[in-house]
Structure 1
């Protein structure tokens, strides 16, 4: 039995299709995190893959955010599956159950913890030493703690505690347990590229939780990291029930990272962290796991896959659990009722949902979080405004607003007076205007001001067409066809002055300076973090980020771009 976990940073980014990616991993159970897909965006090609059965958890209040999925080969079909950790999302038969103690959580807190689509649980039967046992796989994408948002730190710790309570409750019920996924915390100093650069590394609440969650092998700790061993004695409150399978087989391996920053190109210098894990209960890790490792050679995401191999064999279930995506109405070929799309909804809830509308990208640094699950999963409503006939609404809108002009009107010359050809000579003298003749009809003449002739020379192609023009009364007046002549254009000196004027307004970035260490041209960056410097530009070394001792990595060159340049 082989199991794989991988934060894929968007399931729709697989250009060759999800099946090709799944087959390349060659595993029985494949757990994916950060799918960034909601149910309305999930297509059949991704949901139903030949040879696999899949189980998804979606974010309830934000598109393009979070989400996990577990794909099982048909030979590894689970007999039970469930979405979330709390049990509140389970409205079908065959759940996993064993939820642990929730007395310290309010119902609202439990809803919030499961509302972001961060957990899928599948339960399988395995054959171990001629005995049929049960193994429960908990696929999780743990929250990221934004340093500038204290509420997200608390949310992350609550999720950790809920995860531990659920895993230990299932273990107590007699099943083996595997917890795997993106835990979003590097455990020890050996799991971080530059721990000395982080203040109070051992005081991080996430690391303290891992110390409690994981079983400590005292002999291993003392032989690999004395500083960590001392910190463990200070922070650990009890001996955990789970094992980090990678460290179980590779206790002293360094530079074994699973996540790198794509913005700084840190993967080239292996300047990353190990935050993706496969945890197994102590008995399963000791008796059944035979190997575990990372796959940094696999690209396609800012994370790499992690795999584990067990000696036991899987016994597939005869039927898929109800949570399987092939049973969703949109993929099962079932006729859907019209009422499913027209469920009535309270107007106050709609307004509240609009006020708390969230962006749809994890890359936006979780600028606004999904903290209002009350509107999750609700449908559109037929309001009084929405039932007005479309034609009437359009007519009312047009009557109340000024018609929108086309882009062409901003480039056409301003025609002051369009006169019959018999009156043109006298009026031409009085108004001191140039005469323009239509090549299609020499007898048709129009008058164009001197200011307009400059526009003709600068935008000949835009001004040669004879489009209808609206006058102040709203009626259409046909303008004569205008053709620029060499005699009406500005002189070369005027062209040069005009070009200089526009260049003074729209200038490109200054030439990049060379960095002091490598002497190579720098790259231009922009501050996106909120604060006094937001929007300012600066130059840094173009090489990928790396440790200060690495001569091939980025040097510490930094220079602000002056606003005047």
Structure 2
């Protein structure tokens, strides 16, 4: 049996990547089957209940559970899929406080824990805003009998806002209180998901640099790495002696370096494995005999994270020498209904929309139907809207430029444009329709007009505006690129040399070279909204890595490692001007247009 966790960074963007784009939209179950796990936990669904497609909400072979933010749509959100044939969920709750309740509320027998085991009743959590901490769709608690699984998406550690730092600290306290309450109930626990914190120096690509920087300030050993509250909390949670959970994946690979699960895609950090390990599967010590192996799957793309999984033994031998089979303790293959908060019980999935009873069926087409001539095709009718169980977000197209669509054949559009042009030029007009709107039969047999219309050729003049600060070489390059013949009346001495010179002059400019490595730079485009959006620029083509030059403001000079990307940057427009100026000057010399004696 396999249990898998993955921050997918958006359930609607995942199918855009290979191999997920090989599955049809209606076949989300194919994506789940490809992951080859019995319990699948997703974080950052970035959806809402109203926007969730039915194929994603209730795949046929899985029981599914979701938690979405109450106020902010397209943000956070977690999901648990349990394969009905191998893992049956006995109970399930949204959130970790026990305060998020369906209608009607869960009964005592439907709840996962006793009332005193929830964080609201735990010491140290009295002053926390429990409802606010459970309102962002960050956790699901599912009871599988053998263990209670908590799928969690902890708040990000990438902000300095005081209120979010406090929110994250309070969420950690609430989460730990929930785990401790379950352990006091003698339950085994699996805590998994995106914890947004590193558990060890080895889990961070720049861990050693962080430690060295702290040691320069007098902080001993690796204590500087734990100055952040989130890292210290996670370290204490899995400590060998005092911890309550076990980092089971690291237990199987204690010394493996580069076992990262998250990368910054904006700087292409995944190419050089410059990342962090912030996705975990933590288990209570009593489950260790069941754990067979665990690892990460960095080869699976589609998100800035990669999946993490553990596998369980099919059976173990208990302290009495008896075989205990996993299928028996997980209720595999049972036919009873899942917990009431399962998505299959949502009203939008179990009820048929009233509009479906009024959809007109298509009328039968007579066999002797007459097909209209191709000269006057009727406009294609829009497809009959089919009822949907959940609304699909509308795309805003008012400000977008028109794009050719397969639903509008280009040939027809061209014909209409030609007819309009013929009317302006005095050509034959299109056949007129009669009063009833139907084209007359005689119009199809009219002789084509033989009138010829002579149109005046329009001459266009290209205007180039030069800045006053453009140098002479750049002006010369622009001038030469528009002239049909060289200014000199004397024939060139070497035709091959002339051809090469012109080829270099008119060829697209070569990319500039970075200043540190003297290697061709890589072209990039600004995608962030702002005044520079769409502009191209060049940066060093080397990948990022520990100590790469992120700029003087972000990297101290003695920490820079030149084997990685340097801080070279140049706008493409500036690079083009410089290259054209150099090319124009050298080509002019070869063609004999520049007097080197003057």
**Fold in common (TM above 0.5):** yes
SS at match of 2:6: strand
C-alpha change, 1:201 and 1:560, in structure 2 (3 Å) is: farther
Pair 1:541-2:540 in alignment: yes
Give the Cα separation in 2 of the matches to 1:47 and 1:273.
31
Question: Paired residue for 1:86, among 85, 94, 97?
Answer: 97
C-alpha change, 1:155 and 1:534, in structure 2 (3 Å) is: farther
* Structure 2 gaps, min length 5: 16-20, 214-223, 316-325, 356-400, 402-422, 428-452, 471-477, 479-507, 549-559, 578-598
Give the Cα separation in 2 of the matches to 1:36 and 1:483.
60
Pair 1:216-2:255 in alignment: no
Give the Cα separation in 2 of the matches to 1:329 and 1:8.
26
Mapping 1:251-270, distance limit 5 Å: 251-270=254-273
- 2:217 is matched with which residue? none
SS at match of 1:87: coil
After superposition, the C-alpha distances for 1:173-199 in whole angstroms (9 at most, x for unaligned) are: 121000000111111111111113446
Give the Cα separation in 2 of the matches to 1:326 and 1:188.
40
C-alpha change, 1:265 and 1:553, in structure 2 (3 Å) is: farther
- 1:559 is matched with which residue? 569
- 1:206 is matched with which residue? 230
SS at match of 2:266: coil
- C-alpha contact 1:28 1:73 (8 A) present in aligned 2: yes
Question: Paired residue for 1:290, among 273, 292, 309?
Answer: 292
Question: Paired residue for 1:63, among 57, 73, 81?
Answer: 73
Question: Paired residue for 1:110, among 130, 147, 153?
Answer: 130
After superposition, the C-alpha distances for 1:237-270 in whole angstroms (9 at most, x for unaligned) are: xx12101001222211111111112112211211
Q: Aligned-pair distance for 1:78? A: 0.7
Q: Aligned-pair distance for 1:513? A: 2.3
- C-alpha contact 1:514 1:522 (8 A) present in aligned 2: no
Pair 1:30-2:40 in alignment: yes
- C-alpha contact 1:78 1:122 (8 A) present in aligned 2: yes
Q: Aligned-pair distance for 1:535? A: 11
Give the Cα separation in 2 of the matches to 1:483 and 1:326.
70
Question: Paired residue for 2:83, among 73, 79, 95?
Answer: 73
Give the Cα separation in 2 of the matches to 1:297 and 1:438.
61
- 1:327 is matched with which residue? 345
Give the Cα separation in 2 of the matches to 1:518 and 1:19.
50
Q: Aligned-pair distance for 1:89? A: 0.9
In the superposition, the TM-score normalised over structure 1's length comes to 0.61
- C-alpha contact 1:213 1:241 (8 A) present in aligned 2: yes
C-alpha change, 1:157 and 1:536, in structure 2 (3 Å) is: farther
Give the Cα separation in 2 of the matches to 1:66 and 1:4.
18
Give the Cα separation in 2 of the matches to 1:84 and 1:273.
26
Give the Cα separation in 2 of the matches to 1:310 and 1:528.
44
176-185 vs 102-111, which deviates more? Answer: 102-111
- C-alpha contact 1:191 1:255 (8 A) present in aligned 2: yes
Pair 1:137-2:149 in alignment: yes
Give the Cα separation in 2 of the matches to 1:65 and 1:112.
15
- 2:322 is matched with which residue? none
Give the Cα separation in 2 of the matches to 1:306 and 1:536.
38
After superposition, the C-alpha distances for 1:140-177 in whole angstroms (9 at most, x for unaligned) are: 01110233322211111111111100011011112100
Question: Paired residue for 1:99, among 118, 137, 159?
Answer: 118
Give the Cα separation in 1 of the matches to 2:249 and 2:570.
43
- 1:403 is matched with which residue? none
C-alpha change, 1:168 and 1:536, in structure 2 (3 Å) is: farther
Give the Cα separation in 1 of the matches to 2:159 and 2:533.
17
Give the Cα separation in 1 of the matches to 2:68 and 2:131.
13
- C-alpha contact 2:525 2:534 (8 A) present in aligned 1: no
SS at match of 1:125: coil
C-alpha change, 1:165 and 1:522, in structure 2 (3 Å) is: same
Question: Paired residue for 2:305, among 289, 303, 308?
Answer: 303
SS at match of 1:72: strand
After superposition, the C-alpha distances for 1:516-537 in whole angstroms (9 at most, x for unaligned) are: 315112334659699x999998
Mapping 1:291-440, distance limit 5 Å: 291-311=293-313, 312=315, 313=326, 314-316=330-332, 318-333=336-351, 439-440=425-426
Pair 1:162-2:174 in alignment: yes
Give the Cα separation in 2 of the matches to 1:144 and 1:265.
20
Pair 1:281-2:284 in alignment: yes
SS at match of 1:166: helix
Q: Aligned-pair distance for 1:297? A: 1.8
- 1:519 is matched with which residue? 519
- C-alpha contact 1:515 1:522 (8 A) present in aligned 2: no
Give the Cα separation in 2 of the matches to 1:322 and 1:302.
33
Q: Aligned-pair distance for 1:540? A: 1.9
- 2:406 is matched with which residue? none
* Structure 1 gaps, min length 5: 127-134, 218-238, 338-406, 408-436, 442-481
SS at match of 1:263: helix
